[in-house]
Structure 1
Amino acid sequence: MLSAILITAIIALVSGAVIAVVAQKYFVNKELRDNQELAGKILEEARKEASAHKKEMLLQAKDETFKQKKELEEEARAREKELKKQEQRLQEKEERLEKKLEKVAQKESDVVSWENRVAKQERAIEDREHDLQHLIDLQTAKLEELAGLTTEEAKARLIADIESSTRHEAAKMIRQIEMEAQETAAKKAKEILALSIQRYAGDYVSEHTVSTVELPSEDMKGRIIGREGRNIRAIEAATGVDLIIDDTPETVVLSAYSPLRREVAKQSLERLISDGRIHPARIEDIVEKVRQEMDVKLREIGEQSTFDVGVHGIHPELIRLLGHLHYRTSFSQNVLQHSIEVAFLCGIMAAELGVDQKKAKRAGLLHDLGKAVDHEVEGPHAVIGADLAKKYNESKEIIHAIAAHHEDIQPTTILAVLVQAADGLSGARPGARKELLENYVNRLEELEKIATEFQGVNRSFAIQAGREVRVMVDCDQVDDDKTHLLCKDIAKSIEENMTYPGQIKVTVIREKRAVGYAK
């Protein structure tokens, strides 16, 4: 019974397992069929969409192809039209060229015929010229026979007459131009110069070649001389000056051409006298110390001069050289004082003329810079000063103004002319300069000699201390118009052959006198 139940249970289990397997296979097959059907539907829909997209793309491609084809056809028609126009223009040009060629050919034929006619006319003209030349030769020979002059002599006389008349006309024109210019220029120039002199009133410092030192007593002379003159020799050797000890009571005279040396010697001697210790070693120490102090003083003097004038940015070495000018004289006029005066005059005139005042003052202050070293360097002081200014980086305008203020080179700028004028004003003012009597007399004699060398001059007189020369001319040889040319020639000769301060006025006088006697 138990085994029958067990068998039944086993059979039931096996049957259940078989049924479960069959059921599972059925459901799996069913799901597979459903999936296949779904995949087929999806594939069919994809095919439909691809076919529709393909149709759409084909339509777009056809539309694009149609549009491009239409554009190309339009472009081809436009090009064809343009080519037709170009072809028409070329045809028109060919027609015009053909017409021009026909005209050129016609002109060439006309030119040939014209050249033939011209050649005939030239031959006729040559024949006529030959005949005329023959007649001219006959007429010239007859004129030479009648006049008693050859052709060359007649030409020379004609040229001389033309030159004389031309010079006469030129003299008239010069006279007229000068009169017109003088009406305005002379008045304006006088106003500027007078204003410049009026606004600047400078002092004049006259230096000589000797300086004096006062002594506390006559016994000091013996101490200065020293045993067998050793002290005086030491002073002269150290300072480069001559000590003159004579019968003048309580006074020693120092003599030297250099004011700087005299000043060093004077200060050294005064210190030795106040110290009381006078012997060669002490003398050398004092002189060296004074020299060092003088170097400092020279720089201070130069700086003060630039401050007074209002000029800045000058190289320190140029400032030191300006200090040297304080102890340099020209015709007894202190050169530094003269340079300061020229700077102020340049500034005033520049202001009146509308020129840069600072540049004008700078050029005026530095114009005589070469005199600080002209005893050490050969050449004119204007050229030396220009070289120094160039060495220490002054501007080209300043260098040119310095070099041209005595016309060692030709002045080409307003600044150079201003410096010339101011330099002449400063040197020409009454009492500004002194010169030796012998030099003064020689200059006057040379001035009169230059004036009398010209043809037609009877006498000449140097007046106004050599500032003017009056020339008396023969009225039969020199007419009114020629006096102006003669005046200019004399002034030019004076400029070329003489050296003088300021300017010289040349006055040519022509007068006609008639003398009769009543009996």
Structure 2
Amino acid sequence: MSSILLYCVLTAVIALIGGLVIGRQLASKARQDHEAEARAKAQLLLEEAETQATRTRDERIQQSKDKFRNLKNEYEQEQKRQRREFEAESQRLKTALEQELTERRQGVLAQEQSIKHLTDTTQKQLEVLQHKEKELETTREKVQADAEHQRTRFEQQEEKRQAKHEAAVAELQAKQQEAEERLHEVQGQLEKVAGLTAAEAREQLVESLKNEAQLQASSYIKDTVAQAKLTATKDAKKVVLETIQRTASEHAIENCVSVFNIESDDVKGKIIGREGRNIRALEAATGVEVIVDDTPEAIIISGFDPVRREIARLSLHLLVKDGRIHPARVEEIVAKTTKKIEEEIIEIGERTVIDLGIHGLHPELIRMVGRMRFRSSYGQNLLQHSREVANLCATMAAELGLNVKHARRAGLLHDIGKVSTEEPELPHAILGMEMAKKYKEHPDVVNAIGAHHDEMEMTALISPIVQACDAISGSRPGARREMMESYIKRLKQLEETAGAFKGVNQTYAIQAGRELRVIVDAENVSDERAGELSFEISQKIEKEMQYPGQIKVTVIREMRSVAYAK
């Protein structure tokens, strides 16, 4: 029974072991089947994901193509719209340019008529001047003949006076001898009668003679002063006349246009540039009006400021000579020309003081003397006027025995205040006096400058000479024209009125004062403000100024962007 039990136990153990082995094999197989199933599911999911990604990619590509096609259509439509607007703007600008050219052509025709009228008037004035010069020559010859006659008569009178003087001296000596004899007799009688000594009698006699001499001297002085009063006016006129005759001066008439000659009319197209950009850049940089019309081989430069016209003329010459004409080049040439003109101003001032023999003048005063070359006073060139006044003052001071150097110096500097930019509200005589005092000029020169228009008291002897010579230079026939001065003052007032507004960089009065161009700062003035600014300027001009016709106010706003590639 024990063997049976052992057999059962062994059987049970074997069965258990076999069950365990079989169970493990079954579990392993189940695990392998599960892994194969999971791998199959993963492969299926991977394939589905790849299919979905491919489908999504195709959809995105199709959407991108559709979006690109839509953007392309919109861009083409925008290009067409901009092209239509550009064509419309080009047509508008072309129409405006043609209208402006028509207006300029009409203005040029009017200026030509004005110039023709001015030429006729000038010719008549020259004829009158020639007639007056002939009369002056006749008068001068007559005055010289009279002077020669008076000199001969004076010499004859002098000889007679000398003879009378010698006779009077001889008579006086005889009377003196007689008086001495009489004195001895009187002295003896006095000593006898009055009991006086010789010394006492001599004192009484000297006192008596002294009183008599003082009475005669007083009478002689009164007669001399009366005679001097009678002849003072005549002598003064004689000195002035001789000074005018010894100082000759040319008669110049200033105008407001300069003509720039060119070799061929083909150059006009280059100067104008594409859509007029070159000529606009030149006008904006120099402040003048450049008129390109049908005049053969000529371009007209119009402006009231001679300095601006000269800068524009020299700049045009350099641009045409170089051949490269574009806005950036125009601004570069104008800047170089402006610097060159400043150097020329200093050279003119130095040459003027050397010609006049003036030494030790301050460099700033020399520069202002050079600036006189480009200024006018009542149509008379200011430097020519000042040189003439300096020569007149020197001649008149020499005639009167005064300091010639101080007189010449004061005559040259008497109108220096007209070219100064400091304190323009002061009279030019007072302003010139302050400048001369600032640069250590002699007190007599300072007083002559400040008093030549009676705006202060004259304390120097050369002051009335400077005043008289200034009047002489300005009163020569044809030397001055009042209309020119008032015209230039009106144009300057136009520019100053517009320049007082905020945001304004530059102002230029062109077309003989019929147009005012105002260049504003693009960063501080917007397009809307530019329109308001032109209206405000026009209203201020209407209220504060008097002018014929109408004035066109043009406000120019230009934005520039500059970058450098390195």
Tell me the TM-score normalised to structure 2 length.
0.44
Q: Which has the larger radius of gyration?
A: 1
Please report the TM-score for the alignment, with normalisation by the length of structure 1: 0.48
